[in-house]
Amino acid sequence: MNSSGVLKSSSSELDLDRPNIEDYLPSGAAIQQEPRGKLRLHDLLDISPTLSEAAGAIVDDSFTRCFKSNPPEPWNWNIYLFPLWCFGVFARYLIIFPTRVLVLTIGWIIFLSSFIPVHFLLKGHDKLRRSIERSLVEMICSFFVASWTGVVRYHGPRPSRRPKQVFVANHTSMIDFIVLEQMTAFAVIMQKHPGWVGLLQSTILESVGCIWFNRSEAKDREIVARKLREHVQGADNNPLLIFPEGTCVNNHYTVMFKKGAFELGCTVCPVAIKYNKIFVDAFWNSRKQSFTKHLLQLMTSWAVVCDVWYLEPQNLKPGETPIEFAERVRDIISTRAGLKMVPWDGYLKYSRPSPKHRERNIGS
């Protein structure tokens, strides 16, 4: 009798530790008693929204971390380092920043005083005009890099103008284009921007054959696809540069590449870009920061340190689809730059519902 009592008490204690599925079901519902050990499909359907929300939270965390900037840990944590930090702030904002503004201003004066006459006076000599404008665009991009005290190391052969080739690179910020453009005048595929950036796009950058699109316009896809095919056929056109991720990623990950650049029937030249965050994070979150503020952040830092690798050209293999080709090139770029590949479409950054909207739907 004593042993059976002990067994019963221990059994009841074990039962207390077991999760009861009825605790997770909606209260107030008329639940029909079922034999012990049986789990109804209705029970699983009742808890499936909870499981879906949990899985969604995991996916959302994995996705959003690709577009989050990780701020550096503060190092001015004691009385010995704080004066040094104050001196650094004084030097960066009151000495280095004004000097960089002066350098960039001089660059713009030289550029505009040369570009405007060339653009309007040499209209009858297109080949010469394009050559001079190409050199001037490379020059102003060099002034931009100098205004950040950019330390850029290029690895591999310099790109050349050849027909039926396209360059693809991972995308961290709009400065990716500037870093690459100071070495070679690329014709880039880029989202149309408002403000002074849009003015530069529609005037100066048009001269190097850049192609613009509006992400919200579905008809722009067909127009851009046609322009891409026409551009890669021209031997005298500037090399075509595409950022196939379609959005800026924080230089820790690479999201899925769009297949458009890989179904043109031409050679794909991968370019890997890796920024060193020792002085500043070069990632541009366009949803939280304008490009002007982003430039100010770079110009008030100590330096922008970057490595660029021009990798071996790739061609579509027999039996390989454009999507598989895109993933193979993404793997090459990610391996070289030390980035982690994630299976997300970067356009979800613009189309997925906001957290407030999701919370409001859950609450209702």
pLDDT tens string 254-294: 999 998 889 888 999 999 999 998 889 999 988 888 888 99
Contacts 24+ apart (CB under 8 A), 116-123: 119/207
Please count the CA atoms within 13 angstroms of the CA of 345 that sit on its side-chain side. 8
* SS3 of residue 240 by DSSP: strand
Amino acid at 249: V
**Alpha-carbon distances, residue 72 vs 24, 194, 276, 281 (angstroms):** 41, 30, 12, 9
pTM for the predicted model, two decimal places: 0.75
pLDDT of 25 strictly over 90: no
Give one DSSP letter per residue of 169-220, joined into a string.
E--S-THHHHHHHTTS--EEEEE---HHHHHHHHTTGGGGT-EEE-TT-THH
> What whole-number distance in Å separates Cα of residue 337 and Cα of residue 334?
5
Q: How far apart are CA 115 and CA 185, in angstroms?
A: 15
Q: What is the structure's pLDDT at 346?
A: 73
Task: Please give the distance of CA 205 from its chain centroid, rounded to a whole number.
Answer: 21
Any bridge partners for residue 240, and if so which?
Answer: 166, 187
Q: Please, which residues have CB within 8 angstroms of residue 174's CB and are 6 or more apart in sequence?
A: 190, 197, 248, 284, 291, 294
- Report how far residue 318's alpha carbon sits from residue 153's, in angstroms, rounded to the nearest whole number: 35
Residue 133 CB-half CA count within 13 A? 26
The dihedral formed by the CA atoms of 254, 257, 262 and 263, expressed in degrees to the nearest 10: 170
Span 205-264, pLDDT tens digits: 877 888 777 766 666 677 777 888 888 887 778 889 999 998 899 999 999 999 888 988
What pLDDT does residue 65 have?
Answer: 78
| Count of other CB atoms within 10 angstroms of residue 76 | 14
- Residue 268 C-alpha from the chain's centroid: 20
The pLDDT of residue 40 is above 60: no
Confidence check: pLDDT of 22 > 50: no
Predicted confidence band at 106 (pLDDT cuts at 50, 70, 90)?
Answer: very high
pLDDT in tens, 130-160: 889 899 999 999 999 999 999 999 999 988 8
Cα dist from 260 to 16, 85, 168, 244, whole Å:
58, 47, 11, 8
CA 21/CA 40 separation, integer angstroms: 11
**Furthest CA-CA distance within the chain:** 111
* Residue 61, CA distances (Å) to 41, 54, 56, 67 in order: 30, 11, 8, 10
Three-state secondary structure call for residue 314: strand
CA atoms within 13 A on the CB side of 255: 23
Q: pLDDT at residue 16 above 70?
A: no
pLDDT for position 363: 45
Dist. CA 261–CA 109, nearest whole Å: 36
pLDDT of res. 358: 44
Q: Is the model more confident about 203 or about 322?
A: 322
